[in-house]
Amino acid sequence: MSNADIIAAHYAASDGGDLAGMLAPLGPETTWTEAAGFPYAGTYTGPEEVRDNVFGAIAKDWDGYTFTLGDLLDAGDTVIGLGTYRGKHRETGRSFTARVAHVWKFDGGKVASFEQIVDSVPVVDAMGNR
């Protein structure tokens, strides 16, 4: 399985609401960075921290939060997913759409890091935090 195939499987799991499948490519040393300015900003290490601080928080705050993959770019040990986030905030009832890039880096066939690059303004606005 290529690095791009591993990330394609992550996104397929996301489409199916399969959190375990989404976390499967992450090892205990994998770092996951949510962008500064994003509501869940920070760097988390390992699947448990990502589950709790990213996906758990999103599930608590949003209805219908999705990532739609537009392009998956295979650059060997770097894989980039370009797409769109959408969701409706539970408290405010406001919806948003935001473009995003995910940069996945591999080391020895394993995910070493994930970095989110996103237009955070629509997300923050939907939360009523601006």
pLDDT in tens, 83-100: 999 999 999 999 999 999
User: Which is higher by pLDDT, 65 or 129?
Assistant: 65
Average pLDDT, integer, range 72-80 = 98
Share of the chain above pLDDT 70, in %: 99
CA distance 74 to 122: 28
Domain that holds residue 115: 3-126
Q: What is the pLDDT of residue 129?
A: 75
Entry pTM: 0.95
Domain count, the chain: 1
Q: Which amino acid is present at 23? A: L
CATH of the domain at 13: 3.10.450.50
* DSSP conformational letter for 93: -
Residues 6+ apart with CB under 8 A from 36: none
Half-sphere exposure of 102 (CA within 13 A, CB side): 24
